[in-house]
């Protein structure tokens, strides 16, 4: 297998037909190259999806959507529904599958922008309540300072975490916002942290929010009677869809809403969105494999055809080898080795070229400020690279099987008489 003379002989044989060998090798090169590129972007997209959703992939959100449209249990229609701290506690106590449940509020209707002031600077930004450890649910990444902690909520501290756009507008003079106080609706809040949205578009709107401890917001802006939104998620092993159904049923019972009154509570199930995106990732990866395998098969057929031509051209040589004592196995291995040389060198070149191109694209996108895009981090996993190499070895052997069998069956007497 590692006889240098044997390999040197194979290389000399391939060099005799450089153009033919090169064109054949290009088919294998292109198949592996396409496999790496397509899987690189698909894998990078899948990683982005996982990073964006994080721990929030199974969160369900409820909000009062409409007044009741049907009378029920002696209560008339047209009633407004509110979510209260007692509802949160009832969900926590009555539904074993629930892992996290809490409410949150916004300042203004549906998070409408509020007038915020710092010194002589001002701007309009949305203000929302949040809880300790809720960075994944808000889809943000802390850049400076700290996030809200349990003590902030317990003591109702007047502190704020601001987005990068808020920093740009209010702190134009280059002052470090950490420790400074901003005016929100006539109430002073000290900035303790700065965040950046990890949403794929990275829009100014996503970075134009200000987060306060939810209990502080409720207390400071007279929203102690209700939550505007409920967040909840299931324990590991439980379905977010089942939990959504159970929580809605409990709230309907507590609020005395008719079971057929479907428009009262609005909802959004993050797991559904996550599964749709994962389905898209799997579709991209599946399509990548189909295209790449099809291209590789075409390359393998080309290698097989070339090896059949080689066997025909070298019939006299093969016959001479057999006449001098070469066994059918020796002849077969010679053909298989030549096929492997073509497929392995071409395939490895395609693999290397694909990896280099992916790294170049990643660096270019980062330089252009597009590092947070959905397809901005393509990469090839080492497992996929090893799998591609395994495909190369298998296809190289398969491409040579028929020519090797034909070469092994050459009759030395007939071959030596061949012109």
Distance, CA of 414 to CA of 323 (rounded, Å): 11
97 and 40 in a common domain: no
- Residue range(s) defining the domain that contains residue 297: 4-53+276-417
β-pairing verdict for 209-213 and 159-163:
antiparallel
Tell me which of 274, 301, 325 is where a domain ends: 274
> Helical H runs in 368-381?
none
CB neighbour class for 11 (10 Å; exposed up to 12, middle 13-18, buried from 19): exposed
Residue reference for tokens 């280099």? 356
Residue 230 structure tokens = 């409920």
| C-alpha distance across the termini of the chain, in Å | 31
Tell me which of 225, 247, 274 is where a domain ends: 274
Tell me which of 254, 274, 294 is where a domain ends: 274
167 and 75 in a common domain: yes
Nearest to 7 by CA among 407, 346, 337: 337
pLDDT of residue 1: 46
Question: What DSSP state is assigned to residue 171?
Answer: -
> Which bin fits 174, alpha (ψ -120 to 50), beta or left (φ > 0)?
left
Cβ burial 305-332 (10 Å sphere, 16+ → b, else e): ebbbebbeebbebbbebbeeebeeeebb
Q: How many CA atoms lie within 13 A of 205 on its CB side?
A: 5
Distance, CA of 214 to CA of 389 (rounded, Å): 54
Distance, CA of 329 to CA of 323 (rounded, Å): 14
133 and 262 in a common domain: yes
119 and 37 in a common domain: no
72 and 107 in a common domain: yes
156 and 289 in a common domain: no
175 and 104 in a common domain: yes
280 and 265 in a common domain: no
pLDDT of residue 18: 66
Query: Which DSSP string do the residues of 171-228 spell out, in sequence order?
Result: -TT----TT-EEEETTEEEEEEEEEEE-STT--TTTTSEEEEEHHHHHHHTT-TT-BS
pLDDT of residue 5: 55
Total of domains in the chain = 2
pLDDT of residue 272: 84
pLDDT of residue 245: 92
Question: What's the whole-model pTM score?
Answer: 0.70
361 and 403 in a common domain: yes
pLDDT of residue 6: 58
pLDDT of residue 200: 62
**One pLDDT digit (tens) per residue for the chain, 419 residues:** 455 555 565 566 666 666 666 767 777 788 788 888 888 877 777 777 777 777 778 889 999 988 999 998 888 889 999 999 999 999 999 999 999 899 999 987 766 789 999 988 999 999 999 999 898 888 888 999 999 999 999 999 999 999 999 999 999 877 899 999 999 989 999 999 999 988 765 567 889 999 999 999 999 999 888 999 999 999 988 989 999 999 999 999 999 999 999 889 999 998 888 888 888 888 877 887 787 777 777 767 777 777 777 667 666 766 677 677 767 677 777 777 777 777 778 878 888 888 888 888 777 776 766 555 555 666 677 777 777 767 777 776 777 777 777 766 666 665 555 55
Q: Could you give phi then psi for residue 104, rounded to 5 degrees?
A: -145, 160
193 and 66 in a common domain: yes
199 and 172 in a common domain: yes
Residue 210 structure tokens = 């200000």
Distance, CA of 170 to CA of 115 (rounded, Å): 11
**∠ CA 311-404-305, rounded to 5°:** 55
Per the DSSP assignment, residues forming a β-bridge with 181 are 190
Residue 31: Cβ within 10 Å count: 28
Per the DSSP assignment, residues forming a β-bridge with 298 are none
223 and 81 in a common domain: yes
């Amino acid at each position: 297998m590692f006889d240098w003379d044997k390999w040197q002989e194979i290389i000399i044989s391939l060099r005799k037909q450089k153009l033919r060998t090169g064109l054949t090798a290009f088919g294998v090169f292109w198949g592996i190259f396409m496999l790496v590129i397509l899987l690189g972007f698909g894998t990078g997209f899948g990683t982005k999806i996982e990073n964006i959703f994080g721990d929030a992939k199974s969160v369900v959100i409820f909000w009062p959507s409409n007044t009741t449209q049907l009378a029920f249990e002696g209560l008339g229609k047209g009633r407004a529904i509110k979510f209260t701290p007692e509802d949160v506690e009832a969900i926590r106590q009555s539904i074993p599958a629930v892992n996290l449940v809490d409410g949150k509020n916004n300042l203004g209707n549906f998070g409408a922008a509020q007038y915020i002031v710092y010194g002589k600077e001002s701007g309009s930004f949305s203000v929302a309540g949040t809880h300790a450890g809720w960075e994944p649910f808000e889809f943000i990444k802390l850049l400076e300072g700290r996030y809200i902690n349990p003590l902030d909520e317990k003591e109702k501290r007047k502190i704020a975490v601001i987005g990068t756009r808020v920093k740009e507008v209010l702190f134009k003079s280059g002052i470090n916002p950490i420790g400074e106080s901003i005016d929100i609706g006539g109430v002073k809040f000290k900035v303790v942290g700065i965040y950046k949205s990890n949403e794929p578009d990275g829009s100014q709107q996503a970075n134009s929010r200000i987060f306060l401890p939810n209990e502080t917001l409720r207390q400071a802006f007279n929203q102690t009677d209700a939550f505007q939104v409920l967040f909840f998620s299931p324990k590991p092993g439980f379905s977010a869809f089942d939990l959504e159904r159970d929580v809605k049923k409990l709230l309907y019972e507590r609020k005395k809403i008719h079971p057929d009154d479907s428009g009262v509570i609005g909802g959004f199930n993050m797991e559904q969105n996550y599964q749709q995106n994962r389905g898209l990732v799997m579709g991209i990866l599946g399509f990548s494999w189909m295209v790449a395998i099809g291209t590789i098969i075409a390359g393998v057929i080309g290698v097989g055809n070339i090896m059949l031509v080689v066997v025909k051209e070298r019939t006299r040589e093969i016959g001479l080898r057999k006449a001098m004592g070469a066994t059918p196995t020796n002849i077969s291995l010679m053909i298989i080795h030549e096929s492997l040389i073509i497929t392995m060198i071409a395939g490895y070149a395609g693999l290397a070229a694909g990896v280099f191109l992916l790294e170049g694209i990643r660096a270019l996108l980062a330089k252009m400020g597009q590092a947070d895009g959905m397809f901005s981090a393509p990469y090839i996993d080492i497992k996929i690279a090893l799998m591609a190499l395994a495909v190369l070895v298998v296809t190289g052997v398969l491409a040579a099987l028929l020519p090797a069998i034909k070469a092994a069956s050459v009759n030395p007497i007939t071959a030596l008489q061949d012109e």
